Structure 1
Amino acid sequence: MGAAAAMTLLGPAAATAAADTTPAPPAAAPPAGVTVDVLGGSTPADEHAAIDYTIELRDAADVPYRHVSVTAMLPPGFHVLRASPAADPAAGSASMPTWTADLVPGRPVDIQAEVVAGTVQDLAEAAEPLTGPSDVIDGAGSGSGPDSMAWYSLSACAQSGPGGVPVCGLSRQLLLKTDDDTRRGIEAIVLILGVPLVVGALGVYAWRVRREPEMD
């Protein structure tokens, strides 16, 4: 009777917490022998460029894993243009496409994805609240304007079940800014260097034309 009265005085929430002594279930271990590699994008990419990636999954253990969930985490502003196999439309999102794969020991599974890049501004705006603008490189010295490039990472994780620990891999690349000002600068350089060459070539041609009658 005294114990029941004490529980009442503690209140419903406290009584529930005091009565719930069930230990939390341990986290499931990651699938043994499973590795995830993200291949592609090894060279700097321009804004809005299409970049080919391969998510390679391997099962080096003796146990097959069925219905493994594979999720790619895309940088801000990036999206998948096409993939083989196609991503599951009922799972994931535009920035986190998801596939389901069956892994068999000794038989790698490849997911091919063509990813369209976002912009340096997308990456800068997403990174600044978390880490500051340290990943954005000032390109004033390269002639392409400030904030002309930024690092980004594309990662993918495989998970054997809802409570499983994911196994992940990533690829880190550089994104280059390709705005109208940069294009105009390149065109201006080509024009400045090209006009004297064209004028010089026309002058040589005209001189030869004038010389030919004299030589006859």
Structure 2
Amino acid sequence: MRQLKNICVYCGSSPGSREAYAGKARALAETLVNRGIGLVYGGASIGLMGMIADHVLRLGGRAVGVIPEALMHKEVAHYRLTELHVTHSMHERKMRMAELADGFIALPGGLGTLEELFEIWTWAQLGFHGKPCGLLNAEGYYDPLIEFLDHAVTEQFVRPSHRSMLIVESEPEKLLDRFADYRVPAVKIWVEKDET
């Protein structure tokens, strides 16, 4: 069984249109705290980002934010976190979050959430890390994306083994159980890390 000390959560700096998204963020926060798992996230105090961090802290858990200098004021940095790391660039932010986390979960979010998820999943596909990546599919938010990804497999642009690296569940407990049992699939890697 895989040991999960910290989970990186990607999610919106907006609360979204449904209260259920906030409810799922709080449910994930409770599951993390109950399992002694720390939160690593983008460091903002607003939207789903702020909600999950606030709930983790309210429950006595650890919340670590990582935010680039350029977004300190735009995203309204959260100053009551267990730790707040300020980076020089977005790239440095994503690298730091990846270093701190033992797995990656995307809650509902917009372009930034999708970009972060796809980058970390691509790193897994390329063999740069062996950590689990998942979607917490609140209220079916990611159903159209999941359908598209399955279409990409059918059209042979995504290999089934790579598609299987993205774990999808609608409940935090089930998702984290699957993270704990995650084994990196045996996949052919197109390029070795030292060749990039």
TM tier relative to shorter chain: under 0.3
Taking structure 2 as the reference length, what is the TM-score of the superposition? 0.22
Taking structure 1 as the reference length, what is the TM-score of the superposition? 0.21
Structure with higher helix content: 2
Structure with higher strand content: 1
Larger Rg: 1
